[in-house]
Amino acid sequence: MPGAINIPRGVLEFLVEDKIPDKKSKIIVY
């Protein structure tokens, strides 16, 4: 996926605000 960012599940809660500041962004978890 173009523009995809990998954030490991174990740290998702801690890093998501820094990596995706727009709270309306869609997040796909696989």
Structure tokens at 19: 């990596």
Cβ contacts of 1 within 8 Å, gap of 6 or more: 28
pTM over 0.85: no
Asked if 15 and 7 count as a contact pair (C-beta separation under 8 A), the reply is: yes
Asked if 16 and 27 count as a contact pair (C-beta separation under 8 A), the reply is: yes
pLDDT in tens, 1-30: 898 999 998 998 999 999 898 999 888 888
Asked if 7 and 16 count as a contact pair (C-beta separation under 8 A), the reply is: yes
